[in-house]
Structure 1
Amino acid sequence: MPHESRFDTEAATWDDNPEHEKRQVAVARSIEQAVQLRTSMRALDVGGGTGRLSILLAHNVGSVVVTDPSAGMVEVARQRILAAGLDDKVHAVRADLTTDQLDGQFDVAWSSLALHHVHDVDALLRRLASLLTPGGRLAIADLDEDPDGAFHAGKPDFDGHHGFNRERLADQLAAAGFSDITFGDATTVVRDDREFGLFLCTATQRR
């Protein structure tokens, strides 16, 4: 996941944007509706930034490891987790799951608007399949295909994906070791007076 420096710089004020909060609440509700979370579950947050999504979902699971490649984001996540009184069950670590090792197995993994920053999506999906227990659940919220790149038009250094074609992503998930792949509409993001759709994709690690 690139652009650590930009995210390091923006980490302290990231949650001040009301659109970010609105989006994370909508994604959290979508995950709660789509995935049967249990308090015995070990959860993994992929590219979790300030940890806001995991803070919203923490009461549904037993523990969460929030990962992000940005040291600034991880530091803010730790502060937010402590302030929420969740430091006994939610932990933030700096890790890029496409390259870094992570110990343990997880029952569920979730991600919100992180996948489009990942250069090698196939490698990440394979890694997630290996980190999930047999039958473990994956929930990814990200941008629907944005072929003209309008969502990131104001960020000339952006070199990720301009959203995802749902059928293509389903094929990638299947190739990585997932089944029961379903898509739904999670929410929308308004940028420059234009609405962009966010999907929620859920899948199950094949036993």
Structure 2
Amino acid sequence: MGNTDKFEMIADMYDTPERIEIAKVSSGAIRDYLVDAKSKNAIDFGCGTGLVGINLLNDFHSVLFMDTSQNMINQIKQKISDFNIQNADTLCFDFEKEGLSDLQVDYIFMAQVLLHIHDVESVLSRLFDVLNEGGHLLIVDFDKNENVVSDLVHNGFIQAELTDMMTQIGYRDIQSKTFYAGSKIFMGHDASMFILDSQK
């Protein structure tokens, strides 16, 4: 996944008050879309230090924390150990390089991950394959923001364009909305965030 090197370097100082607050907002938005999830398995995709997934552990039967950065995975492993969390596991893996044929889950959620992914369509296709029939992919990310100029990340997404791409892949019942706006939350710029729910 894009920017893995950067995340390897900042893993042990990643959990700032601002990131913790955004993670709370993001996990709250995701929780609103969960249906009968207590018996379901989920992947926190591009989990970072697990800030979003930790908030949702009680909403699922189990959560697999997945990231391309081993240092980020080490951080979440430490939290799992410190808090004696029983229903979580970790996996260091890069969906941009290969697919995972033997993994099947009911929910995949990703918060502020898609903007780091170079080939969005390829990764969304591979995630589609991992979902059980009727399973959900939930995306939280930034709305398109022309003020953000970066070689490292996408400058957000237009919800309708993302919906069209996902429909082509095979996702259905796609719904999205902007749910949060904040000051200087996207590379130093004011920005808004959307949530998108889709089903296989």
TM range (shorter): over 0.9
Q: How far does residue 148 in structure 1 lie from its aligned partner after superposition?
A: 3.1
Q: Secondary structure at the match of 2:195?
A: strand
Q: How does 1:19-58 map to 2 (within 5 A)?
A: 19-58=18-57
The one-letter code of the counterpart of 2:46 is: G
Asked whether the equivalents of residues 185 and 198 of structure 1 are also in contact (C-alpha less than 8 Å), the reply is: yes
Q: Distance in 2 between matches of 1:193 and 1:50?
A: 21
Q: How does 1:118-157 map to 2 (within 5 A)?
A: 118-149=117-148
Q: How does 1:1-207 map to 2 (within 5 A)?
A: 1-15=1-15, 17-86=16-85, 88-102=86-100, 103-149=102-148, 158-191=151-184, 194-205=189-200
Q: Distance in 2 between matches of 1:190 and 1:124?
A: 30
5+ residue gaps, structure 1:
153-157
TM-score under structure 2 length normalisation: 0.92
User: What is the percent sequence identity of the aligned residues?
Assistant: 26
Asked whether the equivalents of residues 26 and 186 of structure 1 are also in contact (C-alpha less than 8 Å), the reply is: no
Moved >6 Å (runs of 4+): none
Q: Secondary structure at the match of 2:64?
A: strand
| Structure 1 range deviating more: 185-194 or 34-43 | 185-194
Q: Secondary structure at the match of 1:109?
A: strand
How many residue pairs match? The answer is: 197
Q: How far does residue 194 in structure 1 lie from its aligned partner after superposition?
A: 4.2
TM-score under structure 1 length normalisation: 0.89
5+ residue gaps, structure 2:
none
